[in-house]
Amino acid sequence: MEIEIDHVAMPVGDIERTVEFYVRVLGAKPIDLEKWRAGKWPIVSISFGRQKFNLHPPDNTITLKAAAPHIGGGDYCFVWPGSAASAIEHLKRNNVAIVEGPVPRIGGRGRGTSVYFRDPDGNLLEFISYEPSAG
């Protein structure tokens, strides 16, 4: 039996701003955005393939949540499907400042090369590339 991550709950300061950023920069797909906008759903989710982030707004009414949710306190790594150089080009095209990288790292799949940046709430994000030339 192998356990995988299904979803992550992420407190955010502004749902619209967060969705725009993750769709534009990470290619996420919004789930339930229109229901949330209409006041019919308490959260919005964004998906990355088979995984998703549930975005919890500051006025989150969900009772089952982390003991001390904190906006901007996350650190999330995403597998970039190309080279670290192409990740850097992508971030620059999207006017996203690079915090660090490229740097060698060991991720869930082994050795890779990572580039770090932040989302609008200050969460640390990482693109790791597992291309054969990486690390």
Catalytic residues: 126
One-letter identity of residue 135: G
Helix (H) or strand (E) holding 115: strand 110-118
Give the residue from 110, 9, 108 showing the smallest Cα distance to 60: 9
Token output for 111? 């050795």
Token output for 78? 């995403």
Q: Give the single-character DSSP code of 95.
A: T
d(CA 63, CA 130): 39
d(CA 34, CA 100): 36
Q: Give the single-character DSSP code of 67.
A: S
Token output for 98? 């690079």
